[in-house]
Amino acid sequence: MTSDHISSLRNPSSIKTRFAHRFVLALKKLSMDRASSSVSMADRYKRYRKVRAAAYASMASSVGPKRAWARALLRKIRNRKMGSNLMKRLGSRTGLLKKRTVLKPRNHREMGSEQENSLRELVPGGEGMEFYRLLNETGHYIKCLRAQVKVMKNIIDLYSN
């Protein structure tokens, strides 16, 4: 893996464009698939979850496999999706199957500082990384999150006028 510097990011505007394109396509798909006019609380919540997952997935796909956080994020979203599909089929007796990740016992926690541990939890894929890598990935992740928020705001403005 090449060592990326935070400064040598790809052009931010092309990330925004790629993300916007993917995300709008995903939204289009969502609005067609579901009974998009359903107002029940459960359906609303499901729709919200799907929109949010689509946003993160679109961003992670636009970033591509070079970034560990993007790979980890896509993995997480796919796992969740598979898990929920499984739940739908198996019905209510799937309480045990919900946990897909094994939690580390507290006394085996990393030796890092409290901040470092919090950061690891916040950045996708942060758990297994060496500290230097974590900092690097964090910088990129933040830039992409910001772009994501900007684009989402723009789309909302477009839709609500």
Partner 1 sequence: MSSRRSRSRQSAGVSRISDDQISDLVSKLQQLIPETSINRSRSDKVSATKVLHETCNYIRKLHREVDNLSDRLSELLEMDSAQAEIIRSLLM
Q: How far is the CB of 17 from partner 1 (least distance, A)?
A: 13
Tokens of 155: 């789309």
Q: Which is nearer to partner 1, 95 or 121 (CB)?
A: 121
| 3-class secondary structure, 17 | helix
Q: How far is the CB of 141 from partner 1 (least distance, A)?
A: 7
Q: Which is nearer to partner 1, 98 or 153 (CB)?
A: 153
Q: Which is nearer to partner 1, 53 or 94 (CB)?
A: 53
Residue 126, C-beta contacts closer than 8 angstroms, at least 6 positions apart? 69, 72, 119, 120, 134, 137, 138
Question: Is the distance from CB of 78 to CB of 71 less than 8 angstroms?
Answer: no
Q: How far is the CB of 81 from partner 1 (least distance, A)?
A: 16
Apex 9 CA angle, 114 and 50, nearest 5: 70
Which DSSP symbol is given to 109?
-
* Residue numbers at the binding site for partner 1 (CB under 8 A): 6-7, 24, 27-28, 30-31, 36-39, 44, 47-48, 50-52, 55-56, 111-113, 115-116, 118-119, 122-123, 130-132, 135-136, 138-139, 141-143, 145-146, 148-149, 152-153, 155-156, 158-160
CA distance 82 to 71: 16
Q: How far is the CB of 157 from partner 1 (least distance, A)?
A: 11
Q: How far is the CB of 84 from partner 1 (least distance, A)?
A: 17
Q: Which is nearer to partner 1, 38 or 84 (CB)?
A: 38
Question: Is the distance from CB of 13 to CB of 145 less than 8 angstroms?
Answer: no
Tokens of 85: 């599909």
Q: Which is nearer to partner 1, 14 or 113 (CB)?
A: 113
